[in-house]
Structure 1
C-alpha cells in the first residue's frame, strides 16, 4: 500500500477539489490526478464522481475511505513509535557484563541511563567474559563490559576503559597474614583459595599464577563477590581477586604480586554492525566519561 496515494485520496475527500488538494499537499494538479487514477487502477473501482459540488465519493470510494482512515492512523502510530524508539522514549537496551565490571561499574551506569531514558527497558546479563562475547556476536546483547580474555573477535569492537590487577586478599583482623611483615611462598601452601567463578579471566589468571608458583591449593569457586568478601572476613581463606573490588574494604588487606600477567584490561564491547540508537549513543558517552574518571583517579 502506497501511503502517499492514500494521503492524496484522503485530502481530496476533504477538499473535494483537485486544485485545493494540490495546494494543500504542495503537489501539482496533474500529480494529484495521477495518484487518484493509480488508486482506481490498483483496486479496479471508481472512487469519485464529479458534479457542481466537486469530487464526491462513490460507494466503492466510501469503502476505501473507511479503511484508509484506519491505515493512515496505524501508519502515524508506527512512525511515532519508530521515532520514539530512536529517541529512547520506548524500546529496550540489553547490557552484558562479566563479574568484576558488572560489580564495579554497571550499577552507576544503569542508574544514569535510566535517569536519562526512564521509559526504556534496561536489562543486564551477568556471565563469564567468553559467554558475553558470544551473545554480543549473535547480537542478543547490545553491548557489554568484560575483562580481557586474550581473545579478540573481529566482528566486535573493543574499547579499553581501564586496567585492573589481581591481588591476594585476606582479613586484616583475623587472618595470620595480617601479623606478618612479609609473606613467603611457603606461607601460601596451606591456604584455601577463593575464586570468583563468574569472572573467567580471574580464574584463568589464578590458575596460571598457581602453576608458575608451583603451588597446590584447595580452591573454592563462588558466584558472588559479596560472598567472597564475607568469607574472607572469617580469616580462614585468601582470595585472588580484583584489586578494585576490595581496595575500599577496611576489614581486608591484600598483597600485590610483581607479575604483569596479573594485570588485566577492562573493555567496553559491542558488535561493529550494531544499529546505534540514542540510548546506546548515550551509554557510549557514559563510558567515555567513565574512562576520564578512572584515568584521573590513577
Structure 2
C-alpha cells in the first residue's frame, strides 16, 4: 500500500463521504474513487459497502483498517524522525582537525555547536592533515579543519579561513629570546622538537633542516600541546605554528623572512556531502572565524 492510497483509505473511513474526503485531501472526487478501486483491485477484496449513511467498511475492510492505522502511525513517526534529524534534533556530526586548528579553533566551535544543537552527538578526530583528508575522502568524517599540505584532493572542497606562519619558538628564558633575527641564531647543540613527520609541520621541519644543512637532535611528538609545554622548560626549540604560541606568556619566537612559510588553514568537506542543519550551522560558525580574520587585516 503506497502512502497516498493509505491516506485516502483512512480518510474515507473517517468521513464516510467521497466528496468530504476529496475536500479534506485537496483531491477531486474521481481521484479518491480511483485510489479506493485501485486498492480493492490490489488486494482482490471489497473494502466498502455504500448505503444512505455513506461508505462503511466490510469485514475485510475492518481488518485492513486496523493495520492501515498502524502503518500510518509508523509512517508519521518515520517522517518526524527524518525531519528531526534534518533539523538537528537527533543524529551526529563527525568533525576532524589537524593539530594546530584542533587546538586553536575546535574547542570554541564545538561549544557553540553543542549550545545550538544539544541533542546531537559531536565527535572530534585529531590526526595529521593528510589523515584527516583521507577520512574525509572516505566520508568517515563530515568536515574538518586542516593545515595546508601542498596538495588538494579533487573530491574535497577547500575553503581558506585563516593563514598561519611557521616560526622558530622557544622559552622566554632561552638564550634566543635576546636575539631578534634568525641570521644571528646558532642552532648547533639545540634540541629541536617536531610534530610527527607525517604532519605538514613535521614535513617542513625535515625539509628545512636539510636545506639549512643542519644536523640536530630531534624529538618527535604526537601532540602540539606537548611541544608547547616542553618549550616552556627552556631546553629546546621548535618549528611550530605562530598562532599556537603567540599568546603564550612564557614563549617567544623569531619569524623567518621566507614567505613560503605562510600556510593556509582550510575548512574541508566532501563535495557530495549531505548538509543537514547542524552542518550548516557549523559552517556559519567557521565563516565567522574567516570574517574576524579579514576585519583584522583591514584594520
Give me the TM-score of the superposition, normalised by structure 1: 0.94
Residue of structure 2 in register with 1:135 after alignment:
135
Gaps of 5+ in 2: none
Deviation at 1:16, TM superposition (A): 1.4
CA-based RMSD: 1.7
Residue of structure 2 in register with 1:81 after alignment:
81
Residue of structure 2 in register with 1:22 after alignment:
22
Is the alpha carbon distance of 1:261 and 1:239 closer, same or farther for their aligned partners in structure 2, counting shifts above 3 Å? Answer: same
Residue of structure 2 in register with 1:195 after alignment:
194
Give 3-state SS (helix, strand or coil) of 2:49's partner.
strand
Give 3-state SS (helix, strand or coil) of 2:253's partner.
strand
Is the alpha carbon distance of 1:244 and 1:284 closer, same or farther for their aligned partners in structure 2, counting shifts above 3 Å? Answer: same
Deviation at 1:51, TM superposition (A): 2.6
CA contact (8 A) 1:96 1:145 kept: yes
Deviation at 1:179, TM superposition (A): 4.4
Residue of structure 1 in register with 2:293 after alignment:
294
Offset from partner CA, 1:82-124 (integer Å, 9 cap, x none): 2222222222111111111111111111111112222221111
Q: Superposition pairs for residues 60-209 of structure 1, below 5 Å?
A: 60-173=60-173, 175-180=174-179, 187-197=186-196, 200-209=199-208
Deviation at 1:24, TM superposition (A): 1.7
2-structure distance, mates of 1:186, 1:85: 57
Is the alpha carbon distance of 1:278 and 1:182 closer, same or farther for their aligned partners in structure 2, counting shifts above 3 Å? Answer: closer
Is the alpha carbon distance of 1:266 and 1:183 closer, same or farther for their aligned partners in structure 2, counting shifts above 3 Å? Answer: closer
2-structure distance, mates of 1:198, 1:7: 62
1-structure distance, mates of 2:109, 2:197: 20
Residue of structure 1 in register with 2:273 after alignment:
274
Give me the TM-score of the superposition, normalised by structure 2: 0.94
Deviation at 1:155, TM superposition (A): 1.1
CA contact (8 A) 1:167 1:254 kept: yes
Gaps of 5+ in 1: none
CA contact (8 A) 1:192 1:217 kept: yes
CA contact (8 A) 1:100 1:199 kept: no
Give 3-state SS (helix, strand or coil) of 1:188's partner.
coil
Give 3-state SS (helix, strand or coil) of 1:270's partner.
strand
Residue of structure 2 in register with 1:244 after alignment:
243
Q: Does 1:47 align with 2:47?
A: yes
1-structure distance, mates of 2:180, 2:37: 94
2-structure distance, mates of 1:185, 1:151: 33
